[in-house]
Amino acid sequence: METLPPVHLGASILVAFLTALAVRRPLEHRFVVSKPRVAQPKRQFYFDIAMCLAAGSVVLIYNTVAYGFPVPSGITLLFGCTVVGFFLGLDMALARERKVIHEALAEDSVLPPPKRLYSMTRKFSLVAFTATIFLSLVLGLVLARDVVWLAKIEQSGMPVMQAQLSVMGEVFFVMAVLLAEVANLIISYSKNLKLLFENETSVLERVTQGDLSRLVPVATNDEFGVIAGHTNTMIDGLRHRIQLITALKLAEEVQQNLLPGEAPSIPGLDIAGISHYCDETGGDYYDYFRLSNGDLGVVVADASEHGVSAALLMTTVRAQLRQRVAMEGDIARIVSDVNQELARDVEDSGRFMTMFFLEIEPETKTMHWVRAGHEPAILYNALEDSFLELAGEGMALGVVEDLEFQKYTHTGWAPRSVVVVSTDGIREAQNDKGEMFGLDRLRESICKHAAESAETIQNTIIEDLKIFQGEAPQEDDITLVVVKLL
């Protein structure tokens, strides 16, 4: 290489690289741009190294044929092209990655997470190691050449100090060029990291503000691509969850409208009812009816389990019950017919519903009831300070189709007596120690406020229950109907 005129060598290198530059764009489109976006930066890196090696090979072949280029000089030339291609390829790959990120942002396109992860730490370590090797080899070649040249100083007659300054200047120049290339790569890499960070954080900031309209474009196959993919999965999950919550809120509103808006006004009776669901929707149900004979009907029911499935069962029973109550028949017949319809609907599903149907005749002071697997109602005699359970046999609705329910009767009650019909969510409510509220605490709450209105008795029971539970969560729906017999 030393014997070849610099002008000839420089001209051949310039022509080869200009030719490579001329054909670069169509080849780049064929081997880089046409490929999937996530793979483009890696292909760009290999493409530019190949172009530099191809240009160097053309120079080597030309000079070997034209000027008898020696083999060691050819190896040195190819090594130099490899080093140039390495730094140029990295720079162009990082630029390609930025372009891919900007295109993904502009199109608002979202790709799936990368199937294969190319770790940033592994890529950075590999680049740093390779760059160190190349820098060391380049400096080694320069120093070796300068040592040979310094050994011939005496023959050339050049002063030693001038030769040393020349060597130092050459070494510093090479180091400055290489360090400039490294600094350029660091700056370019920092731009990509900043862009990826800003892209990810901007979407997450929107999420914290409740805006789930944007997703993170997956533009790399490293940790940022994986994080973007999982972020998009999280956003999709939040969207579905919000849709579900919205639907549940609507279902809760609809179900609350299915419950009585206010208690009926009947001479001689003071009535209050309430339901508290442990979820947005529940399976507890209470209602008031004017029966065909003019008496008051009070129903409290509890579907198996709770949540959406229980709410659907509750609405089914409500519709069947209201339709049947509109026709003639005593309450035993009503409950039997509802059970028959429900058993057909829930056959083999394992679903069922308990019910307590109470009929009150204020004028004759008579109560009739049908118990379908439900908690017995409580009758409190205010004069005698005693309790009577309105019990009886009866299976839950929906279990056996052809089942005839029995009606029970109680005649006469003392003035200001109280009837309480509730679901098992009250008696079986637990505190943080695992203790149940139980029947005794329920009776105690009734006794303390039996002289007050039905609404006050109802609210007191609920308040006593909340105090008993403390910080323990509500695990079941709670429904309570209080009838004050005036």
CATH number of the domain encompassing residue 444: 3.60.40.10
Q: Are 182 and 272 members of one domain?
A: no
Q: Structurally, how many domains does the chain consist of?
A: 2
Does residue 221 contact residue 117 with C-beta atoms inside 8 Å? yes
Q: Are 207 and 328 members of one domain?
A: no
Q: Are 341 and 467 members of one domain?
A: yes
Name the residue range of residue 426's domain.
260-485
What pLDDT is recorded for position 87? 86
Tell me the C-alpha distance between 116 and 114, whole Å: 5
Q: Are 288 and 145 members of one domain?
A: no
What pLDDT is recorded for position 66? 74
CA-based torsion, 305, 308, 313, 319: positive or negative: positive
Of 41-55, 135-149, 446-460, the one with minimum mean pLDDT is: 135-149
The yes-or-no verdict on residue 463 having pLDDT over 90 is: yes
Does residue 482 contact residue 418 with C-beta atoms inside 8 Å? yes
Tokens 């050459």 belong to which residue?
170
Does residue 219 contact residue 225 with C-beta atoms inside 8 Å? yes
Tell me the C-alpha distance between 216 and 232, whole Å: 6
The yes-or-no verdict on residue 9 having pLDDT over 70 is: no
Domain C-terminal end among 174, 200, 235: 235
Q: Is residue 240 part of a domain?
A: no
Domain C-terminal end among 202, 235, 268: 235
Q: Is residue 250 part of a domain?
A: no
Of 159-173, 187-201, 252-266, the one with minimum mean pLDDT is: 159-173
Tell me the C-alpha distance between 32 and 38, whole Å: 11
Of 60 and 445, the one with more pLDDT:
445
What pLDDT is recorded for position 150? 60
Q: Are 335 and 452 members of one domain?
A: yes
The yes-or-no verdict on residue 444 having pLDDT over 90 is: yes
The yes-or-no verdict on residue 74 having pLDDT over 80 is: no
Q: Is residue 295 part of a domain?
A: yes
pLDDT, tens only, 89-115: 888 988 888 888 888 777 766 666 667
Does residue 32 contact residue 40 with C-beta atoms inside 8 Å? yes
Q: What's the predicted TM-score (pTM) here?
A: 0.61
pLDDT, tens only, 12-38: 778 888 888 888 889 988 999 888 887
Of 53-67, 345-359, 362-376, the one with minimum mean pLDDT is: 53-67
Q: Are 269 and 146 members of one domain?
A: no
Q: Are 358 and 448 members of one domain?
A: yes
Q: Is residue 246 part of a domain?
A: no
- State the pLDDT confidence band at 397, using cuts at 50, 70 and 90: very high
- State the pLDDT confidence band at 356, using cuts at 50, 70 and 90: very high
Highest mean pLDDT among 43-47, 163-167, 171-175, 243-247: 43-47
The yes-or-no verdict on residue 54 having pLDDT over 60 is: yes
What pLDDT is recorded for position 164? 65
Q: Are 267 and 226 members of one domain?
A: no
Torsions phi, psi of 462, nearest 5? Answer: -65, -40
Q: Are 390 and 354 members of one domain?
A: yes
Does residue 271 contact residue 481 with C-beta atoms inside 8 Å? yes
Domain C-terminal end among 175, 200, 235: 235
Tell me the C-alpha distance between 12 and 8, whole Å: 6
Average pLDDT in the 308-327 region? 88
Does residue 277 contact residue 473 with C-beta atoms inside 8 Å? no
Does residue 413 contact residue 366 with C-beta atoms inside 8 Å? no
Q: Are 39 and 157 members of one domain?
A: yes
pLDDT, tens only, 76-93: 778 888 888 888 888 898
Using CA atoms, how far residue 378 sits from 26, 84, 386, 461, in Å, is 90, 93, 10, 13
What pLDDT is recorded for position 13? 78
Pair type for strands 284-290 and 366-372: unpaired
Which residues, 6 or more positions from 395, have their beta carbon under 8 angstroms from its beta carbon? 372, 373, 403
pLDDT, tens only, 129-172: 888 887 787 777 776 666 666 666 655 555 656 666 766 776 77
Which residues, 6 or more positions from 258, have their beta carbon under 8 angstroms from its beta carbon? 285, 314, 315, 318
Q: Are 197 and 267 members of one domain?
A: no
What pLDDT is recorded for position 40? 87
Q: Is residue 111 part of a domain?
A: yes
Q: Say how many C-beta atoms besides its own lie within 10 A of residue 323's C-beta.
A: 12
Average pLDDT over all residues of the chain:
84
Q: Is residue 347 part of a domain?
A: yes
Q: Are 230 and 274 members of one domain?
A: no
Q: Is residue 185 part of a domain?
A: yes
Of 41-55, 187-201, 358-372, 461-475, the one with minimum mean pLDDT is: 187-201
pLDDT, tens only, 264-310: 999 989 999 999 888 767 788 899 999 988 899 999 999 987 777 78
